[in-house]
Amino acid sequence: MGVARFAFTSLLPSMLESYLTVTQVGILASLNFVGYLGGALFSISLKKIETKVLFFRLGLVVTILSTLVLATTQDETLWLISRTLAGFSSAMTFLVGSSIVMLKLNLENKTKAMGIYFTGIGLAIVIVELFSQAILAYSDWSEAWLGLTTMAFILSFYSFWVLSFEKTPKKDGPKPKVDFSIFTPYVIFLVLAYFTEGVGFVIQGTFLPTIINSLEGLDGFGNLGWLIVGVAGIPSSIIWMRLAHKYDNVNVIILAMFLQIIGVLIPAFSTNIYLVLLSAALYGSTFIGLVALFMNLGGQISQKNPVTLMGAMTAAYGIGQVGAPLYSVALIAHFGNYDTALYLTAFILFAGILFLLKAKKSA
């Protein structure tokens, strides 16, 4: 997933210099999220463990092939297809992979295990960022994509082997039924809040290095900021999940979203390098944790019948992801900077906090 999704952000400043425009980036990012949304919704329908393993492995293969396309061609149509498939493969490797991991662990309380599993996102960002910048030091972005393809190919072998089952589990359990009675006002506000987090994830997740480089006196610091995102992201889900275990889930989510809003707004108000790097740290320490927090809360609410609620939450988050790059590039093109897109993103995240406060009142 680090290669299929987050390497694009790492290499974006280099690609903007010689190949892509900001508008093209927005379209490619949106299509990547379309692929992820489709894959996420499809993953919910997978019930048999053999099918999950099959599509997890397919995701590994597609990750490698879709990255190879970026390394070997500059055909715009192929890039559009590649980024869409990369989004789908990210869902297969991450979401379907997480389902297999949880089955392999066979733990009664999986909250802590989920926190540990989510550290892989931050670790992936760090590894991909260091690897990419090492190649860019003596070559160009296409060579970096080729190196990432090779790295993904090598690292995939272990996951391909270890996430499998020698014996099929005795049963997959009864097939969950679609149940719309779960959509109480509390749940509806929760889903709406998760939609706003899908929006809040995007602008820094796509443009952060470029945003930092565009600030006066900070050209060249963008990739350091992205590295800090990964470092901050490694322990974040463990910390947030422990807080959620100790305190009220919704209150912890509100705190995380409030910190994320501060991180979004800092680059719009300051060019101080320390504050801007703090913005990166706030983003890295919240966006991974918020996904874990929301999904954990959704799992607690839905209990033994998670299909309907998880599908709705995944769709809401995905729709937010798909739409955010499009309004971002439109605002960037119109105003010539990232400030207005940052303001709007922060406003939408604030609306998410209001939804969560309404959820608490309706509980």
170 or 182: which leads in pLDDT = 182
pLDDT band at 177, cuts 50/70/90? low
Q: Residue 105 in 3-state DSSP?
A: helix
Q: Are 289 and 119 in contact (CB under 8 A)?
A: no
What pLDDT is attached to residue 244?
86
Which amino acid does the sequence have at 95? L
Q: 164 pLDDT exceeds 80?
A: no
Higher pLDDT, 267 or 97: 267
87 compared with 298, residue with greater pLDDT: 87
Of 28 and 114, more confident: 28
3-state secondary structure of 221: coil
Q: 141: Cβ–Cβ under 8 A, 6 or more apart, which residues?
A: 11, 14, 15, 18, 19
What pLDDT is recorded for position 107? 60
Residues 6+ apart with CB under 8 A from 27: 80, 325, 326, 329
Angle at alpha carbon of residue 337, lines to 333 and 342, rounded to 5°: 105
* Mean pLDDT of all residues in 97-109: 74
Cα–Cα distance for residue pair 138/168, rounded to 1 Å: 48
Say if CB 306 and CB 174 are below 8 A apart.
no
Among residues 90, 31, 34, 45, the alpha carbon closest in space to that of 310 is found at: 45
pLDDT tens per residue, range 231-263? 999 999 889 988 888 888 899 999 999 999 999
Sorting pLDDT into bands at 50, 70 and 90, what band is 108? low
Q: Which pLDDT tens digit goes with each residue over 53-86?
A: 999 999 999 999 999 999 999 999 999 999 999 9
| CA gap 145, 70 in Å, rounded | 6
Residue 174 pLDDT greater than 70, yes or no: no
Q: Residue 166 has what pLDDT?
A: 67
- pTM strictly above 0.75: yes
- Indicate the number of domains in the chain: 1
Pairs from 337-342 (Cβ < 8 Å, separation ≥ 24): 337/214, 338/203, 338/207, 338/210, 338/211, 338/214, 338/267, 338/268, 339/268, 341/203, 342/203, 342/211, 342/264, 342/265, 342/267, 342/268
Of 95, 121, 113, 126, the residue nearest 238 (C-alpha): 113
Greater pLDDT, 179 or 135: 135
User: Do residues 280 and 232 lie in contact, with contact meaning Cβ atoms separated by under 8 Å?
Assistant: yes
Q: How far apart are CA 317 and CA 118, in angstroms?
A: 17
pLDDT at 313 (0 to 100): 86
Decide if pLDDT at 12 tops 90.
Answer: yes
What's residue 103's pLDDT? 78
Tokens of 258: 């409030």
Q: Confidence class of residue 152 from pLDDT cuts 50, 70 and 90?
A: very high
How deeply is 178 buried, as exposed, middle or buried, from its count of CB atoms within 10 A (0-12, 13-18, 19+)? exposed
How much is the pLDDT for 363?
72
Per-residue confidence band for 44, with pLDDT thresholds at 50, 70 and 90: confident
337 pLDDT exceeds 80?
yes
What is the structure's pLDDT at 99?
Answer: 79
**Mean pLDDT score across all residues of the chain:** 89
pLDDT at residue 130, rounded to an integer: 95
Q: Which residue has the higher pLDDT, 309 or 19?
A: 19
pLDDT at 109: 59
Checking if the pLDDT of 148 tops 60, the result is: yes
Domain that holds residue 282: 2-362
CA distance 189 to 363: 10
CATH number of domain containing 314? 1.20.1250.20
Higher pLDDT, 201 or 104: 201
Task: Give the DSSP H or E segment for 363.
Answer: none
CA distances from 193 to 22, 297, 319 (A): 28, 12, 12
If we measure between CA atoms, which residue out of 110, 319, 97, 26 comes closest to residue 8? 26
Closest CA relative to residue 287, chosen from 125, 101, 142: 125
| 97, burial (CB in 10 Å: exposed 0-12, middle 13-18, buried 19+) | buried
Is the alpha carbon torsion for 25, 6, 32, 197 positive or negative?
Answer: negative
Pick from 63-77, 139-153, 167-181: least confident: 167-181
